[in-house]
Chains A and B, each alone.
Chain A
């Protein structure tokens, strides 16, 4: 088969550039400029898919993005495989490999077609009724089976190796659609100096002009005018032309999402190019020039391969030089059928007959058809088609007084249908604009706009090439004007001016707005005739009628019951006919039935384009401290804390986490360890009112804290529960160095800013995040002072001059430091704050200085164990947003004498000091080897009748190498009063006995802190 159905000449394909491609394993040839659909049609192939539910053989219905049937899988390799592509939009390239879908074992013999025979038992909604029993089987059995049977394509299982990028763009006027209206709009906007983006989903800009063979504009053939206009636009700096770019979503404030297909049409795309680009365009004004979609007619067996929309058949012939067959029957309700008949006849297709639904046939196009000798039959319908994998005949019958007469069979290999044109209002509807039913046009048209947009041309019901061009130009000009004058309430379409601002001389057939919606009469047994409304979801007119019989009145209910319009084509070809059928069945006018919502995307869009570059290591910011690489080089294991990577532990060869943590803990207690605490949140609070601000935000009292001292601070939410904690240093009278938890840093800063800006704008104090300014190196253990002493200058490190909980400024290695004497381990400790650019150098110097003491770097796990041995809480681990300071043993940190602080009034509520509140306690298992599970519940008697009263739960639990036993912290009801009691921790197989103890396991008097 080598292009037997190719015209001898003509079309926009490059006949000097033949291409070979494969479909279902068979090799075919086509030309540059072909789509997969046009190339297959030129080779006589119409059978390209099996339908969704009944597995009926299907061919091409259309030539564009409205195609419901011809969904194919195009694969470059196993990973680069895209299912469900519309063959009508797949550009041919050398070596393209495509496969049909939803068939087994093959396209021409599909076992699933048994569904078609079983169809009387598979009406719409059948799965709601049939698969109800046994309970649970739906999820395990029915749904997976139905999904496998009623399927679209199969997604590849390998990671997508292609790149997708995302771009933001701004313009004065975005024109969507590059047909005559869009071109004229872009021209007008560009001429008035506006920055214009013109996008179109097709490979070539031009829309309907690409398939015009007889029309003229400004005295030129349409193709010539198109080329000149595109050259004119391309030459302008203020115009960006974007072919292969689908405007798929209209979002608030004129943000329009465009999907640009960059490499799919290339045989060997360069590795550097993204496969697709997402463009998020913020446009001052939008001109929608989306055109109109041809409507099929709904009659029995209208889904056989070879049944196509009439204008699509004309596009295949005129634009691609591909004949849909040798002998066509045409069924039309408007003049589009005649225009197609004339052009196809000119291309060498014989026209067996034109059946026209209308009783009166008049006008120029029918007259020309008659003059050309075509058999024109008014008041005639198609009542069926025959043929197995391709239409072989059509049955025509006269309609008289509503009665369908006897059928006459006419042999043909194609049936071309046209029910008129539906304005494409998808994007307008997405912009939340109100659609209005226009009885004269028989269509929903854009009404009141919500966004700064206007529709132009066929998508707002304008017909006739000259009027479309003039409307496009007027809308483009108005859009440019509105973009300049932002203050004008310029919303919505400009009424077509009486005298157009620019007149276009155009000569083309005007198809008018005639058409039909609904199902055509056929006089056959309705139970045995399948007249398809929605090709992609296999919905027939019978299904719609069933829905109305079952009581559905709203179109939204009919849609959900039958699934009409819910396929990936979003009802492009089916919506209006569904409305027509429901309208007739319920004897209710169309506008009373409503219209379903158009949702983005306009056409299916890849996941890749939404993910963009956000995958792998750059899916989210991966934050590392200045010391990270050192830790990595030492073989540290890391854990995620928020977006930070923190060293978890430093295993030596042969050590597991347990062994490493035990060694690290012992080293800190016995000698000295060092820990990277740089991720702690830090905020510098500066200004004359800094202390007053601190007083209001924290529970503690700050006024009397002397410069040079540290204090542990607790912060509450307004509801009185602990929000965050941290050590705060007073650097001077008006300067505090605040630390927060690692995860709490942004939340705490926002909380503070919120109060400062909304409650206390009178305070002279300002907040600056310094989290990343400082690297924090904790040196902890009895030898800590000896380790750092040789490195520090300008600070007296003696016990007397620099006791626990002080801050001093000096230098380390000559680098300015804020040195804290602070401990989260219970040992003598220092935290060296240095500007993070110096963090690595200072860390290495401390490590070197500590080597003679066997200084041991430790990670977050050891830090957790050491602090738990001391009963130091971690906000978010011991607390869960329902703990008061007193619950967490922090009552001492609340300044009772303070007039006010955030959360104070809430703390005064009785319930906040009830004796049976959960309180922080320690737990010791009777068997010291047993380590409790964090989160485990605590009860008095596990054998008590269900529900067993819960006393609380374990919040932290570790094996303490230093103590040689397990330890745990827990929140227990009335816990402090239970100290000394035995409680039980029930587990699935047994219960563990524990003793409630004070939550300080190690050095309860705190003597080691001072070294």
Chain B
């Protein structure tokens, strides 16, 4: 069953009309305490891009200031704003509808050059958690995942094997992956392969 993780994202009630590409894989996932693998539930996802003037109002309307520091995210009230580029943010709210958020941000940025696009269904989330999470991720990702180089609060667009992902560190041992849905089974299967040697 697709479920949602820990404190960072509350469990989403299953919508009977939606389907995750990970449902079947998650159902047979092995329970590995040192590297748990969780398919995350539905979420509202918006890509916000724009000129400087629109950034502040967008953050205010979203309820989380858009981070200006590269590769960092801000979070408040179960909402997340991930810095993906100098003028690009991914806004994510687990278990929420995109439309009201979209409307609120559009209303606050009317007349200010920007682009807001609903990409809620474009990707799915995977949580990799446990003391061996970084070891598992590093089998397909070349970044230095030590806490010094990739601290809690960091996010970045990167790769897992041949798939592009957004990688987020919520806690020392808790990472989230956001991956385009058709690549999700590929990423999941390679994560499973990577933790095969773990008990």
Contacts and interface: CB of A to CB of B under 8 A. Distances in A.
B83 to A, nearest CB: 16
A593 B177 CA distance: 55
Given A617-B189, A621-B186, A626-B21, A768 B135 contact: no
From B121, B161, B180, name the one whose CB has the most chain A CB atoms within 10 angstroms.
B121
Interface in A798-840: 813-816, 835-840
Contacts of A841: 16-19
Contact of B197 (A274, A839, A842): A274
Contacts of A168: 138-139, 141-143
Interface in B125-176: 135, 138-144, 146, 149, 161-163
A805 B75 CA distance: 43
Nearest to A621: B186
Contact of B42 (A613, A614, A837, A842): A837
Interface stretch (B44-52, B55-63, B64-72): B44-52
Given A772-B123, A836-B181, A618 B115 contact: no
B79 interface: no
Contact of A766 (B115, B120, B162): B115
B20 A837 contact: yes
Contact of B113 (A280, A687, A814, A838): A687
A765 B51 CA distance: 10
B161 A768 contact: no
Q: Which of A687, A764, A772, A815 has the most CB of B within 10 A?
A: A772
Interface in A253-295: 272-274, 280, 282
Nearest to A262: B197
Contacts of A624: 21, 182, 185
B51 A837 contact: no
A870 interface: no
Interface in B19-56: 19-21, 42, 47, 49-51
Given A169-B138, A170-B146, A621 B162 contact: yes
A272 B196 contact: yes
B182 A644 contact: yes
A254 to B, nearest CB: 13
A624 B182 CA distance: 6
Contacts of A766: 49-50, 87-88, 114-115
A119 interface: no
B: interface residue count bin:
35 or more
B142 A688 contact: no
B11 interface: no
A769 B194 CA distance: 29
B19 A626 contact: yes
How many residues of A sit at the interface, in one of the four size bands? 35 or more
B9 interface: no
Nearest to A622: B186
Interface in A615-630: 617-618, 620-626
A898 B19 CA distance: 45
A379 interface: no
A471 interface: no
A686 interface: yes
B144 A772 contact: no
B99 interface: yes
B178 to A, nearest CB: 12
> Which of B51, B135, B185, B197 has the most chain A CB atoms closer than 10 A to its own CB?
B197
Nearest to B182: A623
Contacts of B20: 837
A166 interface: yes
Nearest to A813: B17
B96 interface: no
A165 interface: yes
Interface in B78-121: 87-88, 99, 113-121
Contact of A272 (B135, B140, B197): B197
B50 A838 contact: no
B149 to A, nearest CB: 7
Interface centre among B114, B115, B120 (most CB of A within 10 A): B115
B194 A165 contact: yes
A115 interface: no
B161 A773 contact: no
B72 to A, nearest CB: 20
26 contacts: A163-B193, A165-B193, A165-B197, A166-B139, A170-B149, A613-B194, A618-B189, A618-B193, A620-B162, A622-B186, A687-B113, A687-B114, A768-B119, A770-B122, A772-B181, A772-B182, A773-B120, A773-B121, A813-B17, A835-B118, A835-B120, A837-B120, A838-B17, A840-B19, A841-B16, A841-B17
